Amino acid sequence: MTSSKIEFLYLNEQDMIKAGVLDMGKCVKTMEEVFYLLSQGDCLMGGPLENEHGMMLWFPEERRGPRMPVAGPDRRFMSMIAYVGGDFHVCGDKWYGSNIENVKRGLPRSILNLTLNDPDTGQPLAYMSANLVSAMRTGAVPGVAAKYLARQNTETAGILGAGVISKACLKAIAKTQPQLREIRVYDLIMEKSQAFARQMSEELGLHVVAVDSLEAAIADSDLISIATSGHAKVNIKTEWLKPGTVVMLTGTAQLADECYLNNTVVADNWKMHQAWLSEAAEHPKGIDSITEWAPTGQLLKLIHEGRGKHESVINLGDVVTGKRSARKSDDDIILFVTGGMPVYDVSWGYKVYKEALAQGIGQKLLLWEQPHWA
């Protein structure tokens, strides 16, 4: 008789570090595999269109129960589900809560965890701390995008926003852009730019300098990576952009509408952004419900108004597999937009889980010896 006992691996944040969650080279390679699988159709995400970023718990503007949370900056819960195929063949759910007030409590803004499941039986394989999974995979994606979209001999980069995500983005970009020699970082808070420049110079052995204006970070940069947070979006003037630059939006930014309409736009997975647009139609605030926070909010609005076309956006996976080409010349300006997807979390979490298993890291927890009701 086969055993019906189920155990799964519990991995706390220290276990995740021991198992290699911070290995950016491996994470970039994993994201590249995922883009390949996405282009082959060997991935699934939630919803009938298979491309939902996640299911969000929106808190109302006014309290409707004595303890019900209300809407606020970065106040949400989100469940992000996916199946990743290929050699991964695994399902998972990244589930997180986010609240800007956490920072005052000495906690990260978002607290994330990831469950991995066997896609055939549904049994849990692992339950893990996922803050680092999430930050690493977010950074790794522009690393892959730079590999396929940046002009040859990319030497200079502008980093906008000096937070955790920008650090991860720069670490990944440095992996795929070996010619990089000068990086300029701009943050609204100069001390943050300076601390970022010091830390990244030391860790990457690159010349990273803090600059005091947006223009100084952008002008003459072959590559621009945007990961600012909050309502004060960076406002990028087209004339600052050097011919051939690739602008990567991990966070939001304001660009001239023509910048989207006249240049090549590449997305992590456009169908997911289309799903956001469909959902906006059902939201009481309509299209305005997404323009504020979605990195593609401005582009989706242009499409919604009939000024842009879904078909003109290229998927990065199709560039990775060679189905489409994005860069036609060294002078092309390319915009890369990424909204974040659960396939990234599930794939990177799975790689770390496999490493933890191989090294005997983590704690086995019992779900049941045998199910009480079978």
- Is residue 232 a contact point for ligand NAD (CB under 6 A)? yes
Cα(300)–Cα(45) distance, integer angstroms: 20
- Check if the beta carbon of residue 127 is closer than 8 Å to that of residue 115: yes
Stretch that binds ligand NAD, among 30-38, 48-56, 123-131, 232-240 (CB under 6 A): 232-240
- Is residue 237 a contact point for ligand NAD (CB under 6 A)? no
- Is residue 163 a contact point for ligand NAD (CB under 6 A)? yes
Q: Of 347 and 362, which CB lies nearer to ligand NAD in the complex structure?
A: 347
- Is residue 138 a contact point for ligand NAD (CB under 6 A)? yes
Residue 259 CB, shortest distance to ligand NAD, in Å, is 17
The CA-based dihedral angle spanning residues 209, 213, 214, 219, taken in that order and rounded to the nearest 10 degrees: -70
Count of residues touching ligand NAD (by CB under 6 A) = 26
Q: Select from 126, 173, 227, 356 the one that contacts ligand NAD (CB under 6 A).
A: 227
| Cβ neighbour number for residue 177 with a 10 Å cutoff | 20
Chain positions 340 to 369 lying near ligand NAD, rule: CB under 6 A, are 340
- Is residue 230 a contact point for ligand NAD (CB under 6 A)? yes
Q: Where are the alpha helices (DSSP H) in the chain?
A: 13-18, 24-40, 131-149, 164-176, 190-204, 214-218, 257-262, 270-282, 288-291, 297-304, 316-320, 342-359
- Is residue 162 a contact point for ligand NAD (CB under 6 A)? yes
Q: Which residues contact 280 (CB under 8 A, 6 or more apart)?
A: 286, 287, 289, 290, 300, 304
Stretch that binds ligand NAD, among 6-14, 222-230, 299-307, 327-335 (CB under 6 A): 222-230
Q: Select from 15, 32, 93, 187 the one that contacts ligand NAD (CB under 6 A).
A: 187
Cα(240)–Cα(299) distance, integer angstroms: 20
- Is residue 339 a contact point for ligand NAD (CB under 6 A)? yes
Q: Of 244 and 297, which CB lies nearer to ligand NAD in the complex structure?
A: 297
Q: Select from 31, 165, 267, 314 the one that contacts ligand NAD (CB under 6 A).
A: 165
Q: Of 185 and 314, which CB lies nearer to ligand NAD in the complex structure?
A: 185
- Is residue 264 a contact point for ligand NAD (CB under 6 A)? no
Query: What is the amino acid identity at position 34?
Result: V
Q: Of 7 and 215, which CB lies nearer to ligand NAD in the complex structure?
A: 215
Q: Of 8 and 196, which CB lies nearer to ligand NAD in the complex structure?
A: 196
- Is residue 188 a contact point for ligand NAD (CB under 6 A)? yes
Cα(112)–Cα(110) distance, integer angstroms: 6
DSSP letters spanning 251-281:
S-EEE-HHHHHHSEEEES-HHHHHHHHHHHH
Q: Select from 11, 90, 146, 160 the one that contacts ligand NAD (CB under 6 A).
A: 160
Q: Of 124 and 295, which CB lies nearer to ligand NAD in the complex structure?
A: 295
Cα(77)–Cα(93) distance, integer angstroms: 13
Residue 231 CB, shortest distance to ligand NAD, in Å, is 8
Alpha-carbon distance values, 206 to 175, 181, 203, 221 (Å):
12, 6, 8, 15
Chain position whose Cβ is nearest to ligand NAD: 163
- Tokens 């191989």 locate to 358
Cα(261)–Cα(243) distance, integer angstroms: 16
Q: Of 189 and 374, which CB lies nearer to ligand NAD in the complex structure?
A: 189
Q: Of 54 and 161, which CB lies nearer to ligand NAD in the complex structure?
A: 161
Task: Give kind and range of the element (H or E) at residue 307.
Answer: none
Cα(70)–Cα(99) distance, integer angstroms: 11
- Check if the beta carbon of residue 82 is closer than 8 Å to that of residue 92: yes
Q: Select from 113, 129, 177, 228 the one that contacts ligand NAD (CB under 6 A).
A: 228
Q: Which residues bind ligand NAD (CB under 6 A)?
A: 138, 160-166, 186-189, 192, 227-230, 232-234, 250-251, 295, 338-340
